[in-house]
Structure 1
Amino acid sequence: MLKNLGQRIRQLRKNRGVTLVEMAQKTGVAQATLSRIETGTMTGTLESHEKIAEVLGIGLAELYSGVDRRYEEIAHLPTEDRRVTHHTNQFQIELLTQESSKKKITPILITIQGESRIPMENLERGVEKFFFVLEGEVKVLLDAKTYTLKENETLYFDASLPHQISNDSKSRARILAAVSPSRF
């Protein structure tokens, strides 16, 4: 992500006396999208950057000058700082990153005790999940079909489909999961 690109666009726009409404009209980019770009909620597309630069009377190179191209944040999370979002006698869900609402992907550690299951869930359209079994064996009921996942096996799926994880063995199972876009 281009760090501080939105701040740069806002500064250049204001310096030229162009309102957000005018920028939207001249670029054909929705005002809400421009606002999100300026606040850093999204970066926009190359095409939108070209249109913005054109309205500002500059080239892309100048628009990008001074913009930090490194990732906005490198997130290191020590074990003791993990946040448990759900905890029952049967399972535990831990977030493996902080401020996950600002992330595109949320990594999660799911621990399921032996002979236990997580309640059925289905999320809104556009949400995807990825599971990697770190320890044990689990069954994932996904839209009326069961997938048995052993250690080091994976499953990637549309999380809007009804799904449930169960651990039929007597030993605990651990799954590294990734949810995109972030849901926590």
Structure 2
Amino acid sequence: MQIGKKIKNLRLKKGLTQEELGERTDLSKGYISQLERDLSSPSIETFFNIIEVLGCSPKQFFDEEERVQKVVYDKDSQTFFAEVEKGYQIRWLVPESNEKEMEPIYLMFKEKGEFKKFEPSLSETFGYVLSGRVTVYLGSRIYVAKAGESIYFHASEAHQLVNDVDGPTELLLVVTNSYL
């Protein structure tokens, strides 16, 4: 069992950053990162504190249900997070997709909303603009896609998605997970 991946998955489901989890557990962001990558092992006390903050009991954490391939995911299995300050909402369409090769999400920007800035990685990003318009900042270049158009890029440079129009923008995004 990879404890770090389970901790990361629970953290993402709660909509917490590594820094926020660290603040709530009196641990550093760096230590949380090491735990999630299975580079360090927590003490029992620290482990119980982390899963308590993440809303999980030890039994739930260690239960290994029979792994049957799931194909259809209903709306109730999706995880939702809203970032009011930056003006976006994200819905993870497949639970635990951060542990899979692809992570499909639905992203909705409010007027002038912007997604967080991402550092370079080995990931690839595909997006389909359902409505509105999205601006992609990729390194020093800027690209614009409107409703009905697609975006596709390697995340080898710093990047960000922004809604620069009056009114909302909706996207379907699929990002490959890079295991750095």
Residue of 109, 113, 117 corresponding to 1:112: 109
Task: Provide TM-score, normalisation by structure 2.
Answer: 0.56
Residue of 142, 154, 158 corresponding to 1:158: 154
Change (3 A) 1:128 1:86: farther
Distance in 2 of aligned mates of 1:102 and 1:142? 25
Q: Is the 8 A contact 1:100 1:182 kept in 2?
A: no
Structure 1 segment 22-37 matched on structure 2, within 5 A: none
Distance in 2 of aligned mates of 1:159 and 1:94? 21
Residue of 66, 90, 95 corresponding to 1:93: 90
Name the SS for the 2:72 alignment partner. coil
Q: Is the 8 A contact 1:130 1:154 kept in 2?
A: yes
Residue 143 in structure 1 maps to residue 139 in structure 2: yes
Deviation by residue 1:35-64 (Cα, 9 ceiling, x = unmatched): xxxxxxxxxxxxxxxxxxxxxxxxxxxxxx
1:97 Cα offset (Å):
0.2
Measured on the aligned residues, the alpha-carbon RMSD in Å equals 2.0
Task: Provide TM-score, normalisation by structure 1.
Answer: 0.54
Deviation by residue 1:123-169 (Cα, 9 ceiling, x = unmatched): 42x21111110111111111111111011111111123111111121
Structure 1 segment 1-184 matched on structure 2, within 5 A: 73-89=69-85, 90-124=87-121, 126-181=122-177
- Which runs of no fewer than 5 residues in structure 2 stay unpaired? 1-67
Rg larger in 1 or in 2?
1
Distance in 2 of aligned mates of 1:122 and 1:152? 27
Matched-pair identity in %: 27
- Which runs of no fewer than 5 residues in structure 1 stay unpaired? 1-71
Give the count of matched residue pairs.
111
